[in-house]
Amino acid sequence: MCGIMGYTGGGAAAKIVYDGLKRLEYRGYDSAGISVLCGNEIKTVKRLGRVSALGGLLGKMHGGTGIGHTRWATHGKPSDENAHPHNAGVFSIVHNGIIENYSQLKAEYFSDENFLSDTDSEVIAKLLDKFYDGDLTSALARVCGLLRGSYAIAVMCAKSDGFAVAKRGSSVVIGYGENENFAASDLPALAGLCKNVAVLNDGDIALLTANGVAIFDENLQGVIREIVPNPATPADLELNGNPHYMLKEIREVPAAIERTRLSYAYVESSVKKAMEGVDRVIITGCGTAYNSGLAAKRYIESFARIPAEAEIAGEFRYKNPVITPNTAVIAVSQSGETADTVEAAELALSLGAKVIAVTNSPYSRLTRCADVVVPVEAGCEICVAATKSYSGQVTALYMIARTLAGSSVQSSAEIIAPFPALCAQITESEDIDGLADMCARSYGTYFLGRDIDYAVAQEGSLKLKEISYVPSEGYPAGELKHGTLALIDIRTVSVFIITGKSLAGKCANAVEQVLSRKGKAAVITNVAEVAERFKGRAYVVEIPSCDEWLSPLVSSVVLQLLAYKTALLLDRDPDKPRNLAKSVTVE
């Protein structure tokens, strides 16, 4: 949830850490702070608000080692006091995660001491100061042995060169430079700074100095972690003339679809082998990833005629799921670090299921536990709301379903081949300003569809409420008359997605029910008869004709643009919606 950045070397640590935090701000932006080792003294600045609030405070922070943090609050409200870093004695620490036993640790070791913050993290700094005997790594290992929960920790000590990191649950990436080294929560922070990276395992502790990196396991035995090329590039972080990352990333949907469909050929045989003998499939994820799973359920059942379920990962992992060796679990996560999804995947593995990871992150916790990894080649996604990664997920899940049904990768790729151009056509030409104005003025907006369109309705609703804060829900269109119709009046907007000809007539009847009750209606369709029927009576958005099963790739782009434009009308920040962070690494 929070972003961590660390640097040690001959450069200006404060500036390097500050720039890294700016690139990590999608992970949290309610407060930020930086500590720098200046000689034998640690200097710290931290403020409520975004990373930019620190910009004018760094002038006197001269030193070659620093750590920083951009926060998404879990314990303690956003404030200067609760912002990281937290200091105690000769230590300064930043922490991502949740320490579940922090209150017990405070009661046991510091019952008579005052704490300066309401966070669970400050106890880490105080424990380090209590146990330090001249060896930073041994003190950190002892403290980590007491912690229960998830954590990525960066620690700086005034009596030690460089800094140390430790992880369990939350992610830490080490960056290898020339006479300088880095650590960060996520790869974008390291774009352009280093050519090679390594991902730490749970329980690892690493000591970074300008001259090298030493990695230890939880028993302080030296270990080697694979060093791989850094896939993040500065170009990933450029806006390329776009006013916001969200719009830039919507415009990158075509490339995400194209790269994902092409890369699938390299993993098709592994997917096929993993799926041998499978008689039931569970797709699990959270938020947008779960919504892509709703589409995947229909693909798998329709193409392969195998029972499939879409499960919210946070529910699945606690429901004592029925799993057999013939069950396949497809775990979907943009970051590959989503706590509930990773825990669900690990639970499924422990119960004997085959696990297939669908993720946009090649070096993640999810990829390390899965039997097979199907890459989503969406590239770096900075906006909190998922756009191009959703399109990549739908593409990858469609390919998996076709493999399960016995189709060749070539035939599947050929079916998808026209869609990048179709999506590009929408991103550059679709005019939905009037519909955005209707949604911005509405008391509530409802997204409705049938079959595969219902899966898209759920995602459209999520996009609108997370970016614009307009109350919204997604419903099966057939359920309208079973309760939802009570919500409809002149203050509401109902957005219907109609791309399936077989159910178009029934969906059109639902539109009529809304109009007859003075509700405002919009219809997103590629069915000519439907478009003609509602012209002049509803707001009609015509999208290109396409393969019905892959229509979510097209219709979802319209809904992403709708959320974006509604947010702008309401003066919301589409890249950084309130209370949300990109990578949810805690429960």
Query: CA 519 → CA 100, 476, 512, 513, distances in Å?
Result: 47, 17, 10, 9
- Residue 523's nearest CA partner among 396, 390, 429, 432 is 432
Are the C-beta atoms of 185 and 21 separated by less than 8 Å?
Answer: no
User: Phi/psi class of residue 62: alpha, beta or left (left: φ > 0; alpha: ψ in -120 to 50)?
Assistant: beta
Q: Where are the alpha helices (DSSP H) in 486-579?
A: 501-516, 528-534, 551-569
Residue 297 bears catalytic tag: no
Q: Where are the beta strands (DSSP E) in 16-61?
A: 31-38, 41-48
Are the C-beta atoms of 447 and 492 separated by less than 8 Å?
Answer: no
Residue 582 bears catalytic tag: yes
- AA identity, residue 82: N
The torsion angles phi and psi of 50, rounded to 5 degrees, stand at -80, 170
In sequence order, the 6+-apart residues with CB closer than 8 A to the CB of 135 are none
Pairwise CA distance, residues 349 & 341, whole Å: 12
Pairwise CA distance, residues 4 & 8, whole Å: 14
**Candidate list 2, 157, 380, 423, residue with the active-site label:** 2
Q: Where are the beta strands (DSSP E) in 200-279?
A: 205-209, 212-216, 228-229
Pairwise CA distance, residues 205 & 223, whole Å: 10
Pairwise CA distance, residues 63 & 267, whole Å: 46
**Candidate list 46, 465, 576, 582, residue with the active-site label:** 582
- Residue 295's nearest CA partner among 405, 402, 447, 398 is 398
Catalytic residue numbers read 2, 582
